[in-house]
Structure 1
Amino acid sequence: MNPYLKMDVETASPARKVIMLYEKAILCMEDAKLAIEENDLKTKVESILRAHDIIRVLNASLDMEKGGEIAENLRALYEFIEDSLVKVNASNDVKLLDDLIEIVANLKSAWEEIESKI
């Protein structure tokens, strides 16, 4: 791992870490979209799996006791994204992938707004 990136991650606030995960998930989905358009099966699968893993980490990190309704809603959304990524992997549905990118981008924006108020 790049030492500067490692330091950024290690020193980031919890909100910044979530934002960084969203950014990486978006990049992976954009890579998958490009791979679908270029018929690059290997890159598509790898990129979708990375995005799926990131969303799974975000889902697993939810504190369902303290998070209440927000955590429940995020869990449902993360599960939808995970399931949809599996569908994209099987179907090469670029429209669905675009929708997922938009959802994650909106979540990222919401966390950026939260971070700015902390």
Structure 2
Amino acid sequence: MGVETGVMGASPHRLIVMLYQGARQAIAQARMHVQQGNVSGRGEAIGKAIQIVESGLQQSLNLEVGGEIAQRLNALYGYMSRRLLEANIKESEAMLVEVDGLLATLEEAWIGIAPEIARMAAQPAAESMR
């Protein structure tokens, strides 16, 4: 299954997981390029990670409805973008590792709420059968 097919058939929950995974893959590539001294490859991979964080994860937030959690995630995504930019400028693998760790924690938490989402989705269906 191609990425486009996966995106088209994915639930909103799954799309966020895919964004976390894509950003982490881009960071892994950037780390490899830092180690190899590949400046253009590093810049391209970090640019991709920043784009996923800003245009994917940050843009998916509903700041009006999401309350404090959405506000905090927005601030965290902004921090990640700045750290990624700084990692590119300073050729810092440590900064890439830091952002990857933050994304890994969020991805794990997001995956952990999947059973709760499924339960909530099933609940209205069960109630309508009564």
Q: Which runs of structure 1 show a deviation greater than 4 angstroms over 4 or more consecutive aligned residues?
A: none
Secondary structure in 1 matching 2:30: helix
Q: Which runs of 5+ in 1 are unaligned?
A: none
* 2:52 is the alignment partner of 1:54: yes
Counterparts of 1:115 and 1:54, CA distance in 2: 21
d(CA) in 1 for partners of 2:3, 2:74: 28
Looking at structure 2, the residues matched to 90 and 5 of structure 1 have their Cα atoms a distance apart, in angstroms, of 30
Aligned equivalent of 1:22: 20
Q: Deviations over 1:54-102 (max 9, x none)?
A: 0002112210111000000000100000000110010011111101100
CA shift for structure 1 position 117? 2.1
Asked which structure has the greater RCO (Cα within 8 Å, sep 6+), the reply is 1
Q: How far apart are 1:8 and its partner, in Å?
A: 1.2
Could you state the TM-score of these two structures normalised by the residue count of structure 1? Answer: 0.94
In structure 1, what is the Cα distance between the partners aligned to 2:7 and 2:105? 22
Shift of 1:5: 2.4
Counterpart code for 1:74: L
Q: 2:111 corresponds to which letter in structure 1?
A: E
Q: Which residue of 1 aligns with 2:93?
A: 94
Instruction: Name the aligned partner's letter for residue 4 of structure 1.
Output: G
Paired with 2:2 and 2:60, the residues of 1 have a C-alpha distance of: 24
Structure 2 portions without partners, runs of 5+: 118-130
- Residue by residue over 1:95-114, the C-alpha shift from the partner in whole angstroms, topping out at 9 and shown as x without a partner, is 11101100001111011011
| Aligned positions of 1:62-81 closer than 5 A | 62-81=61-80
Identity, % of aligned pairs? 31
For residues 20-64 of structure 1, the C-alpha deviation after alignment (integer angstroms, 9 at most, x for no partner) is 000000000010001000001111000000000000021122101
CA distance in 2, matches of 1:52, 1:19: 16
TM-score normalised by the chain length of structure 2: 0.86
Amino acid at match of 1:51: A
